[in-house]
A and B are shown apart, each in its own frame.
Chain A
Amino acid sequence: MPEIARSRQELAQLMDHVMNQTYSSLEEEQELEQETSLVKTYLLEAHLPEDASPNDIRSMLQTVSETYLTHKRKLIADDTKDPTLYLLSTVVDRERVILYVDVSNPRFWILHSVNKSTALDWVLDRVTKEVDQLDRGWLWPELLQELSTKGSFRGLGLDYDRRIVPDIDFESPESVEYLKLQLWGMQASKVLEVLQSSFPHATTLAKVKVKYWLSQMGDGDFSLDDVKFDGKITARGTSFQSHLALVSALYRRYADTIRRLEADFSLKWDYNENALQLSGAAIGFRFPTPIQDLERFCDHVFSSSLPFRLWGVPIRVTKSLIRVPAVDLHSSSRLDIEVCPEFMRLYLPEGACGNTIVRLYTNLKHHYDSRLKAVTADGQVIF
């Protein structure tokens, strides 16, 4: 077994070997061997068109490799035998970290690694902060819940932290400031139902554990995947192919949604010499409970800071409406947002990135109200 894979086939063999080795260790000894780690997969969205040329992809990887992770540490980019598979490597805490970057879709990248989470998470955090053209795939709660039905639902994580957008009085009796929970077991679905019923605004699905069989019969080789809302997937089990199948289905669904957002909701003006025609709809975000303090809400959401990364100058236009022409600092896309107590209208200009919408939607669910709905002009739910 080569230590470093140089082709897709070698990658599959290496990952499969690691998964099986890990699973045996866990099963037999209830702990991991010293040198063993779990397979981790990260979904990243590159600011490249899906039909980008190999040169464009190489140029983007060059940008990534020229970026300083610390004041003197960078990533090294290497080719493999496969033109759509690259290696990124660096050293973290004296451990060599290797990421396999699958760019078969130039926009929707899939990264695999078997290094430790602490090192990998740090590298991914640095890269997505320093390289504006790269962002995580943001997996909204409904998508995670949908994924949980693809196999056997074995666990969940909830993550709600209102302190990021603190526009309410946390001393009030009904307020929930912070709700985080991890549950592993076969009762995940039932527990989720109970919490969604009791604390609907604060029960935000952040992680699901799914046992997934490659065979539809529910037997044979399988993967046991922890899928997190920030696009990180940790895999155990006996089959890397099963893990890949789940990841591919998930990312296909994500990419379809991004494409639909950009196709249906980009404002496009057509001009001829004496007339204007407009196509593309606005997106509505509906809040079940009205925003109590519009100014504070907008100050936090459009502060240019993580997790929203939206630059904007909110100005109150009327007593019920704040207008925010904004810039997504990740994709550099412009967007216009109107915030009213019960809803937001979002206008994406032509060419803007759908990732902006899913990042805002997902993070508002995690930091404001889990019941938030995104709707079309005809009232249909988008996510």
Chain B
Amino acid sequence: MDKLFSNFNLAMLNLWLGLCRGETGLPRVIRDLGYRHKQVELTFQNSAGKPVQPELIIATSHLGHAIMFEWKAGVNTDSDQLERYAHVHRDDLIRQANLQPAECSTHDICVVGLDENADRLAIGIKQGGYPFPLVAVESDGLVLKLNHFAVKSLTDVFIPRLEIDFNMLPTSIIPFDHNSQYWEIAHTIIPQVIHYMASADSMFTIDHLGADCTPLWHLSLSPGYRRTLSERIKRVIEEAAAHEFKAYLRRDRNAEARTHSPTWQIIYNPRKQVFDKRSADYRRLKSLAEDFIEALRTGKRNPDQLMFDFPYSEKNTD
């Protein structure tokens, strides 16, 4: 089942955002209970002055209940982290997480992990004596493995399980993060470059591209997060400009003194052509994008493109 999640944390973020938003193809019960997403990756201080950073906060004014989520892709909990969560009080949620008082009469810290790791994750929660609900991701849904939520109607949702077809999870709300594979990043940023072309832009920077492609770009996350994300996006564009998109993109180092960000010129733009030629150009770009993503995914390049070294490929782990 873990093959479903090349990036567990991102999958859980998209899933829970989707459950709150009532995305087509997902169960509606979480939305129907009134839960709405409130904050993504918010860092704030607990009542003891220590920082916490739940991956997602959702809340419902109908039930007066808020949940802070912590995804766990691995087998262990972090005892210090759990201790800091235990000291989050209602006032912290109102004053620092901008929740309305009616949305957090009660709250929970919910740990979400893979079913095969549930026993190990439970040990950490039990050892600290925390009441945190542990939700396990099984092959066909979400199951409450330990403790219960502060509101019974939510606990009941996971008994015996909240059925979910993980083959149909939303993937586009937050399309990639710093842990995504190069091909996954390329799948989002190459269409953005095509959008720049279709908008008659003559250049773009990595800062623009990052900001336009993933909302996570804007967060002041842990030191180095933005740098990692930026570096991975830059590598994808470098690779594209060196191979499949060589005739379309060129690094413009002169402009970088002005833009303060790695910058590329769009040196050929189909938009300037007449309709028939333009349509043919866009079809060609589609074919090049397919080749490029496939090359990043498999490490094997279309023979026509074997002009340079290919250092950034990753084997597909799906």
Q: What is the bound-complex CA distance between A333 and B199, given in angstroms?
A: 8
> Which A residues between 303 and 352 are near B, CB-CB below 8 angstroms?
303-305, 311-313, 315, 317-321, 323, 325-327, 329, 332-334, 336-338, 340, 342-345, 347
Q: Interface size on A (CB < 8 Å)?
A: 52
Known: A132-B271, A315-B293, A321-B167. A347 touches B195 (CB 8 A): no
Q: Is B42 an interface position by the 8 A CB rule?
A: yes
Q: Which secondary structure characterizes the binding site on chain A?
A: strand
Distance in Å from the Cβ of A279 to the closest Cβ of chain B?
Answer: 10
Which residues of chain A come closer than 8 Å to B274, judged between CB atoms? 68, 130
- Please encode chain B, from 108 to 133, with 1 for each CB lying within 8 Å of some chain A CB and 0 for all others: 00000000000000000000000000
Q: Is A155 an interface position by the 8 A CB rule?
A: no
Q: Check if B279 sits within 8 Å of A304, measured CB to CB.
A: yes
Q: Which of A267, A321, A325 contacts B168 (CB 8 A)?
A: A321
Q: Interface size on B (CB < 8 Å)?
A: 55
Q: Check if B286 sits within 8 Å of A325, measured CB to CB.
A: no
Q: Check if A274 sits within 8 Å of B282, measured CB to CB.
A: no
Q: Check if B187 sits within 8 Å of A323, measured CB to CB.
A: yes
> Which A residues between 137 and 188 are near B, CB-CB below 8 angstroms?
none
Known: A269-B218, A313-B190, A345-B170. A274 touches B24 (CB 8 A): no
Which residues of chain A come closer than 8 Å to B44, judged between CB atoms? 274
Q: Which of B43, B171, B219, B286 contacts A304 (CB 8 A)?
A: B286
Distance in Å from the Cβ of A77 to the closest Cβ of chain B?
Answer: 20
Q: Check if B191 sits within 8 Å of A274, measured CB to CB.
A: no
Q: Which of B166, B173, B289 contacts A278 (CB 8 A)?
A: B173
Known: A313-B190, A332-B198. A345 touches B215 (CB 8 A): no
Known: A276-B39, A304-B283, A336-B175. A345 touches B25 (CB 8 A): yes
> Which A residues between 259 and 316 are near B, CB-CB below 8 angstroms?
267, 269, 271, 273-278, 281-282, 284-286, 302-305, 311-313, 315
Q: Is B2 an interface position by the 8 A CB rule?
A: no
> Which 8 pairs from chain A and chain B are nearest by CB?
A284-B24, A377-B22, A332-B198, A336-B172, A320-B167, A275-B42, A276-B40, A318-B167
A–B pairs, 5, beta carbons within 8 Å: A276-B215, A302-B286, A327-B195, A337-B172, A338-B171
With A302-B286, A321-B169 known, 15 other A-B pairs at CB within 8 A are A271-B218, A277-B38, A303-B283, A304-B283, A313-B286, A318-B167, A320-B168, A327-B194, A327-B198, A329-B282, A332-B195, A334-B192, A343-B24, A375-B24, A378-B31
